[in-house]
């Protein structure tokens, strides 16, 4: 009887562990896993535009930050780039990391529901050294002038970037130094 209870306990613990993996969550609970943790208007065409984003997340995985516009053909209408964001990760009043995002790249383009996704950086949450609350501060240092036709419809979106098919993050080329 004792061996049977031990077996049931081990099976239960293994099931809970498996259920909580990024692979399981992203495969079987797709809509919940890939829900944006931030999605708000952001005028990336204006130098000096700033936003502070409190990063509240459910899954410990990699996240990408992308600019989105409601046009599936954004890269077909104009030249891509330049454009850069300055970023700062702050936790408990302490600066954990800062730098510049990557410039937009035609090869990193994403499309979802007639929306173009222009990823500019990838990072992990929890952020190394994070104590409690984490805030991401963004500032446009090099305007994304090619997005000027979409000026009033540009959004900043942060979503998980994990791909269960390859068991890793897709946008590794955009990973910032952490």
Max intra-chain CA distance, the chain: 71
| Cα dihedral 145/140/44/31 (nearest 10) | 130
pLDDT recorded at residue 29:
59
Q: Which two tokens stand for residue 132?
A: 């409690």
Q: Give the length of the chain.
A: 178
The total number of structural domains in the chain stands at: 2
Q: How confident is the model at residue 17 (pLDDT cuts 50, 70, 90)?
A: very low
Same domain for 52 and 20: no
Angle at 88 between CA 52 and CA 41, to 5 degrees: 35
Q: Which of 100, 116, 21, 9 is nearest to 60 (CA)?
A: 21
Q: Do 48 and 8 share a domain, yes or no?
A: no
Identify which of 40, 36, 53, 67 has the alpha carbon closest to the alpha carbon of residue 148.
67
What sign for the dihedral angle of Cα 37, 42, 45, 48?
A: negative
Find the helix or strand (DSSP H, E) in which 79 lies. none
Report which DSSP code applies to 144. -
> What tens digit of pLDDT does each residue of 107-121 get?
777 777 788 889 999
pLDDT band at 38 (very low <50, low <70, confident <90, very high): very high
Q: What CATH number corresponds to the domain at position 92? A: 2.60.120.790
Q: Is the model more confident about 158 or about 162? A: 158
| Same structural domain, 12 and 100 | no
Question: Residues 58, 127: one domain?
Answer: yes
Q: What is the pLDDT, as a whole number, of residue 40?
A: 94
Higher pLDDT, 131 or 53: 53
Q: What is the pLDDT of residue 35?
A: 81
18 and 89 co-located in one domain:
no
Among 31-35, 92-96, 100-104, 142-146, the least confident range: 31-35
Residue 145 · residue 139 · CB < 8 Å? no
* Tokens linked to 37: 């943790």
Interval 33-59 mean pLDDT = 90
Q: Domain check: are 11 and 84 in the same one? A: no
What is the percent of the chain with per-residue pLDDT over 70, rounded to a whole number?
Answer: 79
Are 58 and 144 members of one domain? yes
Judge if 25 and 47 occupy the same domain: no
Whether the model pTM is above 0.85: no
Domain that holds residue 118: 35-174
| One domain for residues 85 and 136 | yes
Q: Radius of gyration (Cα) for the chain, nearest Å?
A: 19
């Amino acid at each position: 009887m004792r061996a049977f209870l031990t077996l049931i306990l081990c099976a239960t613990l293994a099931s809970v562990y498996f259920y909580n993996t990024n692979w399981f969550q992203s495969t079987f609970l797709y809509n919940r896993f890939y829900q944006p943790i931030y999605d708000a208007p952001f005028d990336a065409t204006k130098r000096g535009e700033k936003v502070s984003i409190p990063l509240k997340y459910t899954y410990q995985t990699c996240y990408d930050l992308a600019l989105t516009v409601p046009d599936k053909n954004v890269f077909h209408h104009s030249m891509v780039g330049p454009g850069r964001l300055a970023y700062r990760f702050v936790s408990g009043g302490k600066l954990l990391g800062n730098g510049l995002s990557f410039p937009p790249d035609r090869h990193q383009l994403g499309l979802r529901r007639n929306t173009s996704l222009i990823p500019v950086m990838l990072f992990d949450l929890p952020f190394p050294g994070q104590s409690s609350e984490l805030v991401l501060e963004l500032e446009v240092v090099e305007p994304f002038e090619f997005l000027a036709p979409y000026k009033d419809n540009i959004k900043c979106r942060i979503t998980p970037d994990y791909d269960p098919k390859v068991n890793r993050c897709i946008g590794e080329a955009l990973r910032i130094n952490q």
